[in-house]
Chain A
Amino acid sequence: MAITNLPKNPEIHRIPQPKFIDAIRWLSSPSPFQKSFITSLYDSDYHTPSLEIHSLDPSKTLTTALFSWTPPSRISSLKSTPSLFAASTFLGSLHIFKTPEEMSVLGNDMSDLGSKTSDMEPVVSVVGREFHVGSVGGVDLMEGGSECVTVGEDGRVNLVVERGDFRRVFDENGLVSYSAVKWASPAEFVTGGCGFGLQWWDLRQSSAAVAQFKGNWDHGTTSGIIHSIDINPSRKHTCLAGGSSGTVFAWDLRRPQEPIILSSIGSSDTMTHPLSESEVWEVQYDCYTNSLNSNISSSRILPAMICSEDGILAVIGQGEEPTELLAEPCAINSFDIDNQNPSDVICSLEWESIVILSRP
């Protein structure tokens, strides 16, 4: 159903893992041959969650755990920037780590590594009922920014500074539950929650959302939860959101009541055949496809990659046929495009394996 625009097929490597993978992100690495990534795992045999940094061997067939940490409960959200990464948990705590600098593996022969996994400790941990009650739905860090924003199921929006203090930006007392957040600039961010609702916040202005969007374009017949938001640094006024029922849309702050729907089921007239009919877990702008098609006008939505519950990993663009990269029999729960090398994509499958795609 999708016509691939790529001249060659991407290289796909599958690496089975012994534990269930909740989320996965690339970490910045000094050399393209020694890639590493951070992953939050859950061991179903011992019922313990863990947060681990793995290195990937050059042949992309083996991963080795370099560092690990046991969080107080399962990780609900994971984000990484070149120098830091943050993980939030279902119990309502946040932990920020410094990306370890020394991650090179001694020697090239992975098989006789023998070195045990080192422990890593967070530089900042925020816990307690004051912070969040219940699960933290989303967390985001900005490279160069000084604060980490967290949003929770309890309707609270908090900002955490480096030393571990936090301030409450907003507390809806449970009337809203947030499930995603993304920084737009050092002072603005976007949150998303139920009913395909998005809120734009500006910290320089009032402490309530400055703009809101309620996603009921087809009169509430399809409603859902937003799972992921992405904002392109070059187009800060537009954000991309993905959520339930295969819905992916863009919200332009300049035209707040006219969302641009890229994919959706239901009676929309934009797509005759939706790319996915189930939850879109993550969306990310795809700079690789963007760089290939250089003729995208500034008014069009940039191409973005999505992963979904029905096992689709695809690149979707406004007014174009989507390009399917993977169609797995199980859900793809999480993915990340390598900022340093956007042709590489890592994703985690429901059935305890990691897939690495290298686009030509």
Chain B
Amino acid sequence: MYIGLVWLVVRFRNWHLDGYISDEIFSLIKVKSNQADSSASASGGALSQEFCFEWDHVMEYSKDIKELLGNPKSNYDPLIEDPKEVLNKGEEPTSLKAAWELMEMFYADKLCQSWFPERLVDWLADYDCLLSGDQPTVHSKLVDFQGTLVTLQVIEDDPKYWEVISSALAIGWLEIVVKLLRLHGSYQLDQLGHRETENGLVETVAVLISMMPRMRLELKNGKLGECFEAKPDFMKAWEKWREQITKLDSSAFWVPCHHRQTREGLKNLIQIMLGNTKILCTATDHWIELYISHFLFIRPFTVGFEGMYNLAQKCIQMKPMSSPHKLLRLIIGIIGENTEVVLAECSRGFGPWMVAHAIELLTARSDLADILLHKEHDDIGGISMEELHRLVYAQVLTSHFLTWQIAPVYLTSCMKQGMSLLEFLLYRQPAQHNQLLLKNLEICRLYDLDHVSSNIMKIAGVYHWKHGRKGLGVFWLQQARDEFLLNKIARQLFDSVGKSISSESFKQWEGLIELLGSESKPAGSLEFLHKYRDFKKSLQQACDRKTLDAAQHAADSLMSLMKNPSTPQRFWLPLLYDSLTLLSWPARPLLNVSQTNLLLNKLQELSMASVRPGFVASDLPAEALNSVRLALATNLGRAILEEQ
């Protein structure tokens, strides 16, 4: 059964990628969810319904892609007003679209099954223009002839005229044939008088051509021929038609027709209509044209790939080509029913896009192809061909900055290896530009790749930090929730504690503490830093303003710091040393008795700790301890006095 796939509508774009990929790249993926329930295989009715359902999906998918591949006006348009113009000067279609149509025709379009030959006729009508390489094609001959049409005086004298008409007839371009025939000189008003018979013959042939029976459902507007769906009806009409042609061929009207070229030309056309292989061979250039002519005039009932394949081989033998066009190679692969050859030709001729998207069509037709394409190959890591080609195409997309954003869509549909490749891909994207980084993070978010996004954010954080943009650095590290690095930064800030630093550096230091935030961390180091910062600020204010209030505030701040268990011991002395001015405030003692005692106890604790191993002495001047002790003692004295 089909594996469920979710496609996403992406976009349409047409551009060159300098040799990375052949010609054009388009990408389309459609949002659908596959509702195939494996339990539906139980009942046959449901099974056929399910297949119909699947086929609908595939056809719709195919149609969407065709629309994207462009809708140029067909070169072959029977409704051209200008009588002297037989071919449209439209935009040339792409071989990619031609290839896609072939794939759709043979693999996806269930309606097409019975009308392959006629379908190929239509296909050639649209795409014959692509096949002219070294060899001429009917199309190229027509184009050349059209160029000379304006200058020709007596059109029916030119052998090219008849050549072109017979070629066009051979591949079923009936409207062009009739139009050209009606350009015959015998239609001109001044000629009608003495060329009646000739004109009659030309007109009869034209009418016969326009009545040609066709084994197909319907014909587009303006196209000539009579359609027959059922074989018996067609046979009857075919025989009748052939009878009429034979009758014309052996009629007596040829004798009075004096214009040699007309007579020979028309006879040639009749031979074509009667299915004369030799004449058909002369009239066509490419083997595919000869092939089509067989379907039209010799064997309109060819069905089944085997029959088609054998006929194709015969035609190739009759018209060998040195370097066949990639479309023709593809056709051989398709009618040869060789999935691997088809894939190889798609890859070789049309690139990874074609292979990645055509697999969907290939699996629609046959279970065999489905099995082949979904079989897991251990030698390439256990993935199937379908996944492999999608991975390859995704890698192609990642090579250009405009398309790499589409790659994730393909990668996420690769069940086994897609996500890991996407992770590697995202990790390798530059993290230095904020906007690009945000877009990459969005992709991580869409596909739940949290560890990748935190990795990328960490890279960005370190990058900005080291380039002097500490704010952005901390921001990204916080987004990455990288506690380890943020702790390291916090620890760096500790280095400034207890040291006298310039006000510039203090501002930086203060700013960093702000950035690191106070709520997001579980107390500890940052809390201390915040308190220290507040203390430093109030100390500064006290020194500046020299008011009692400010000093008291600073003293309170100091006490709160010293009492706080999160204050590391190694900062006690530096803190007290910093606050010497507070401790010896001239106006009045700022600390009361109990507060001073507490501080003295802390000092005692510190002295005892200093003799233990592992004690890290702060790099303060040697007399620091003594000065602090002295100041505290003095303060104690004053405080006791005050309290009395």
Residues of A near any B CB (own CB < 8 A): 16, 18, 20, 44-45, 90, 133-135, 153-155, 172-177, 179, 193-195, 216, 219-220, 223, 225, 244, 277-279, 309-310, 329-331, 350-352
Q: Is there an interface contact between B400 and A244, defined as CB atoms closer than 8 Å?
A: no
Residues of chain B within 8 A of A351, CB atoms compared: 11, 13
Residues of chain A within 8 A of B15, CB atoms compared: 18
Q: Is there an interface contact between B471 and A155, defined as CB atoms closer than 8 Å?
A: yes
Residues of B near any A CB (own CB < 8 A): 8-11, 13, 15, 18, 400-402, 405, 433-434, 438-439, 442, 445, 464, 467-472, 475, 478-479, 508, 511-512, 515, 517, 519-520
Other than the known A90-B433, A223-B478, A279-B439, what 11 A-B pairs have Cβ atoms closer than 8 Å? A20-B402, A133-B468, A135-B434, A219-B519, A220-B517, A220-B519, A223-B479, A244-B438, A277-B445, A279-B442, A331-B439
Main secondary structure of the interface of A (DSSP, over half): loop
Q: How far, in whole Å, are A279 and B18 apart by their CA atoms in the complex?
A: 33
Residues of chain A within 8 A of B401, CB atoms compared: 44
Q: Is there an interface contact between A223 and B475, defined as CB atoms closer than 8 Å?
A: yes
Residues of chain A within 8 A of B13, CB atoms compared: 16, 351-352
Residue in A135, A172, A329 whose CB lies within 8 Å of B8:
A329
Q: Is there an interface contact between B471 and A177, defined as CB atoms closer than 8 Å?
A: yes
Residues of chain B within 8 A of A331, CB atoms compared: 439
Residues of chain B within 8 A of A330, CB atoms compared: 10-11, 405
Residue of B nearest to A179 (CB): B434
Q: Is there an interface contact between B438 and A175, defined as CB atoms closer than 8 Å?
A: no
Residue in B18, B438, B469, B512 whose CB lies within 8 Å of A177:
B469
Q: How far, in whole Å, are A135 and B464 apart by their CA atoms in the complex?
A: 12
Q: Is there an interface contact between A279 and B438, defined as CB atoms closer than 8 Å?
A: yes
Q: How far, in whole Å, are A193 and B475 apart by their CA atoms in the complex?
A: 10
Q: How far, in whole Å, are A350 and B443 apart by their CA atoms in the complex?
A: 14
Q: Is there an interface contact between B472 and A329, defined as CB atoms closer than 8 Å?
A: no
Q: Is there an interface contact between B469 and A225, defined as CB atoms closer than 8 Å?
A: no
Q: How far, in whole Å, are A134 and B471 apart by their CA atoms in the complex?
A: 14
Q: Is there an interface contact between B469 and A134, defined as CB atoms closer than 8 Å?
A: yes
Q: Is there an interface contact between B445 and A278, defined as CB atoms closer than 8 Å?
A: yes
Q: How far, in whole Å, are A195 and B472 apart by their CA atoms in the complex?
A: 10
Residues of chain A within 8 A of B520, CB atoms compared: 219-220
Best-buried of B15, B472, B508 by chain A (most CB within 10 Å): B472
> Known contacts A278-B442, A309-B438, A351-B13: does B402 contact A193 (CB below 8 Å)?
no
Residues of chain B within 8 A of A219, CB atoms compared: 519-520
CB distance from B533 to the nearest CB of A (A): 14
Residue of A nearest to B9 (CB): A329
Q: Is there an interface contact between B515 and A175, defined as CB atoms closer than 8 Å?
A: yes
Residues of chain B within 8 A of A16, CB atoms compared: 13
> Known contacts A278-B445, A352-B13: does B468 contact A154 (CB below 8 Å)?
yes
Best-buried of A18, A277, A310, A329 by chain B (most CB within 10 Å): A329
Q: How far, in whole Å, are A154 and B445 apart by their CA atoms in the complex?
A: 28
Q: Is there an interface contact between A350 and B469, defined as CB atoms closer than 8 Å?
A: no
Q: How far, in whole Å, are A59 and B456 apart by their CA atoms in the complex?
A: 45
Residues of chain A within 8 A of B400, CB atoms compared: 44
Q: How far, in whole Å, are A147 and B630 apart by their CA atoms in the complex?
A: 59
> Known contacts A219-B519, A329-B9, A352-B402: does B18 contact A193 (CB below 8 Å)?
no
Residues of chain B within 8 A of A134, CB atoms compared: 467, 469
CB distance from A224 to the nearest CB of B (A): 8
CB distance from A312 to the nearest CB of B (A): 13
Q: How far, in whole Å, are A241 and B478 apart by their CA atoms in the complex?
A: 21
